[in-house]
Chains A and B, each alone.
Chain A
């Protein structure tokens, strides 16, 4: 039974993706950071193109959502991860066997290769059998594997591995090293002398003494003395090594191409889920967005900047989530308020949500309804041009024009602090002009600006402002809410800040004491 691809309902799309380059918006949206953390430790799979290529129809997205949902079953995703680890180990052994080696050694490494491959495939088949899979991709893979592991060649391979292993494990020998010679014999029950020495002085032992001071070098290469010993071991156990040779002449390349392709492509999901798990562990939700190719009534609840969240979670810092919604004629989120960091993050968040949704991935937030745009355009301040202000304003305008020329009505534009290099009047004028153009084109847009008036351009604009987080003053990000700016600040009772009021202190002591006695 043929199996297409775990990433593409139509396998022809796979070939188009290979040459995909990083989209221009990735740097501004910090999606480049997300891609590096997703692909870290997975270099050999070359996953980057999969994280660059946008899907263009709802069904292609649904195809991936189905797989993501299936892999939420922890037993299944752990099983697939075990399969992947097995395949990596298999490749490592295969590479080792490929180096020039003593024939017995090369043969034994080929057995290792075959063994890890069989175990990995069986693991995957078993896990899929036991799991309740609903996705088209994994159902089709399950059917393929069920046939494969029951096939005669696969069965013969497994049985061969088992036989060779067993006989190699039975070999136990002794080397007696004298002056200029080494004598090899079968092991005949000689006592463990190191243990005898240790036992004699055991009673002085205080705690685990400094561990072994003598570390022997350990790598696979053999010197000619070891090879001479191995030759003599083979003479002492001739049957064992005949079995080994026979196996290797019969099975030299056991790897199936379909299994190999799945091994690479499923990493797309595993990488993403690994990231999602780290965030979920910190109480940050990811959700499957509802993706529309027609409706621009987008909304998000408890959404957050994925790249920032990854950093904050690593530092143990809490992450503030935000909500947004565009209704009816609304197209442009105008974010204003004091310049304290939360606004840019919010703008990035909206961009990330739309790009990640187009990859068929779950998005950072509790709930999201998104538009399947054809491209995300970003216009962020370029720090390196700060020296030349008039040049900068011109550069800003050039870049904005380029975006407006390229964008179709299905585009999303993220503008962050544009026109800051001029007077307020200018900024108001230019900003109004640009936003009017965006509104005329019916583009979706997030615009971060210090010019309040831009939030009142008409029914298409929605005003969002940053606020101070009440409660824990350790939280440095701000919540962005749909309303005009106000200057509310919250003075915190100093004892409350240190959790030293009567109630808080009593709680701290009793909770910890209870925790100790139960653990």
Chain B
């Protein structure tokens, strides 16, 4: 009997270690905010949400399977809350049965019988809920689940339970079958159900099977203990069987607790976001082969959860695009946008709703984040090492079909080296079929990708900055622009221009980037004939 509310064909492995990238994802995408909102103060729900969200689905069908179950629960929250309460109460009651610290078979048996009696009552109740809601559900997952409860938990099932609980009192002694093991010790003990007893007539006539009886002498206390041990060997087998059966039922309830818990956590999140008027949508998952990202009003779920007011959404139209490059001013909403992409991808692949008016994305095999770590800035010397070590850890795991989100990566060295590193790494990832979303202020890197992008379609976005210098926190399509930060600073400090006729220039001039690319970037962008559109489609 399987709940199968998360997968049509299997269970989630709740004991599996988190994927290696989980810690970085949690930190970079601020997932704790998401999990807290889903938990609504319940640690169990938090843990459940965390595990499901971090175990991405990779098939569109599997995603739709969950989306439809979630849809049923959103329409009929009563079904979810009634079942969840029953399951939680039963598990709780099981915990309150006096625990056995003694490992003796007799005490284990006693406890198992109590647990079984509890389950018999609660499972009858679960069946009644299934009866009540059976006609209200449409999703294949819930239609199957409720149908299964009604078929498996029938009256015959409860009769069998009662029968076993009666027989396990062993009125006629405990019969144990055995063979001779090493050293003629009994081995292969099996609890046997005695056949019909020979009648008194057969026994008087000596017609029964041969049997020899050992009777314990009076006051042989050691013997009595040994005999009790032998009896316990038999009871142990039954106690073990019954305890395992009780474990099975508890396991079923625990699984149900987990699976229902995930949907309850989704409902918690749904309530919070809709309460402040944020739009939510059911995303459209596409197969991995299509690295599409098309969305309207995509916003950062976690940012919205932390604020009173609604947050700004973005539109992106990047169908079949393996490379998305975001450039532009600081404080321009680039990181927020990157987080919203990562969150939407994770939530889509968890079968959840997404924070957007509409969201269509290709399913990715894995999701990785490589964000610049601000707090590490003090240890300048080790910083590039740290960044590259993290990148190397990603390289150990990344496979074709994955998605890597880069946020200001490779900036721990000078622009020239950082750009070259970034060029090689993104180039290798793209050529291996890995989708890349890159937020960078490395002009050499962004411009190099713009001027001579790797094979396939690339989309370039820029943080919008009005003429008066204010930020809208929106991204608009646009080519990467060089900054004049370095040259300005030089001028401020030295009171003289950074560039002279003879000397090399660290930065391109702000005024006319296309006419005079910086020497540092020139070898990275061999074809300076750029277009004004942010979209390049180059098929080599």
A→B interface (CB under 8 Å): 96, 101-102, 104-105, 108-109, 112, 168-169, 171-198, 200-207, 209-210, 212-216, 220, 222-226, 228-230, 232-233, 235-236, 494-495, 497-503, 505-506, 508-510, 512-513, 516
Contact = CB atoms under 8 A, between A and B. Distances in A.
A191 B145 CA distance: 34
B177 A224 contact: no
Nearest to B175: A176
Interface stretch (B227-235, B350-358, B371-379, B443-451): B227-235
A211 to B, nearest CB: 9
A198 B186 contact: no
A187 B195 CA distance: 11
A225 B232 CA distance: 14
Nearest to B220: A224
B428 A505 contact: yes
A243 B194 CA distance: 31
Interface residues of B, number: 88
A268 to B, nearest CB: 32
B180 A168 contact: yes
Interface in B62-77: none
A174 B213 CA distance: 12
The 6 closest A-B pairs by CB, nearest first: A201-B245, A190-B192, A225-B226, A206-B251, A505-B428, A178-B173
B1 interface: yes
Contact of B236 (A104, A180, A214, A494): A214
Given A190-B193, A213-B243, 10 more contacts: A108-B182, A177-B230, A181-B216, A201-B245, A204-B249, A210-B247, A214-B108, A224-B222, A224-B223, A225-B229
Contacts of B27: none
Given A175-B230, A198-B245, A506-B432, A108 B184 contact: yes
A205 B247 CA distance: 8
Interface in B487-503: none
B425 A500 contact: yes
25 contacts: A172-B177, A176-B175, A177-B175, A182-B230, A184-B212, A184-B213, A187-B192, A193-B238, A194-B238, A197-B238, A200-B160, A200-B164, A201-B161, A201-B249, A202-B248, A204-B245, A206-B2, A216-B189, A225-B230, A229-B214, A233-B180, A494-B384, A500-B425, A509-B395, A509-B434
Interface in B237-276: 237-249, 251-252, 254-255
Report whether over half of chain B's contact residues are helix, strand or loop; otherwise say mixed. Answer: helix
Q: Which of B11, B103, B194 has the most CB of A within 10 A?
A: B194
Interface stretch (B277-285, B335-343, B386-394): B386-394
Nearest to A502: B424
B161 A498 contact: no
Interface string B379-405: 000001100110110011011100000
A250 B89 CA distance: 69
Nearest to B385: A494
Given A183-B211, A209-B247, A190 B186 contact: no
B427 A513 contact: no
Contacts, number: 257
A181 B214 contact: yes
Given A201-B248, A502-B427, A509-B395, A174 B175 contact: yes
B505 interface: no
A204 B122 CA distance: 14
A184 B212 CA distance: 5
A205 B254 CA distance: 11
Contact of A508 (B242, B243, B245, B395): B395
A487 B191 CA distance: 78
A513 B399 contact: yes
B129 interface: no
A112 B180 contact: no
A178 B214 CA distance: 11
B428 A502 contact: yes
B93 interface: no
Nearest to B393: A498
A217 to B, nearest CB: 8
B240 A194 contact: yes
Nearest to B400: A513
Contacts of B239: 213-214
A192 B176 CA distance: 9
A216 B174 CA distance: 16
Contact of A498 (B210, B238, B389, B398): B389
Given A171-B180, A175-B176, A192-B191, A181 B247 contact: no
A205 B400 contact: no
Contacts of A495: 388, 421, 424
B531 interface: no
B236 A182 contact: no
B248 A205 contact: yes
A188 B152 contact: no
A182 B424 contact: no
A479 B396 CA distance: 30
Contacts of B164: 196-197, 200
B306 interface: no
Nearest to B190: A192
Contacts of B183: 96, 101, 105, 108-109, 112, 220, 222
Contacts of B236: 214, 216
A203 B185 contact: no
Contacts of A500: 388, 391-392, 395, 421, 424-425
B434 A190 contact: no
Contacts of B388: 494-495, 497-498, 500
Interface string B96-128: 000000010100100000000000000000000
A122 B103 CA distance: 45
B514 interface: no
B185 A222 contact: yes
A398 to B, nearest CB: 49
Nearest to A168: B180
Contacts of B249: 201, 204
B108 A213 contact: yes
Given A104-B184, A172-B177, A205-B248, A223 B226 contact: yes
B152 to A, nearest CB: 6
B184 A172 contact: no
A190 B195 contact: yes
A512 to B, nearest CB: 7
A399 to B, nearest CB: 46
Nearest to B242: A197
Contacts of A215: 103
B431 interface: yes
Contacts of B224: 180
B209 interface: yes
A173 B230 CA distance: 14
B215 interface: yes
B2 A174 contact: no
A339 B421 CA distance: 36
A194 B185 contact: no
A203 B190 CA distance: 22
A108 B186 CA distance: 13
A457 B27 CA distance: 65
Contact of B214 (A182, A200, A203, A512): A182
Contacts of A200: 160-161, 164, 245
B138 interface: no
B231 A203 contact: no
B244 A209 contact: yes
Contacts of A513: 399-400, 432
A212 B242 CA distance: 11
Interface in B400-434: 400, 421, 424-425, 427-429, 431-432, 434
B179 interface: yes
Contact of A192 (B186, B192, B195): B192
A500 B418 CA distance: 13
Given A105-B184, A187-B177, A207 B396 contact: no
A183 B230 CA distance: 12
B222 A223 contact: yes
A516 B396 CA distance: 13
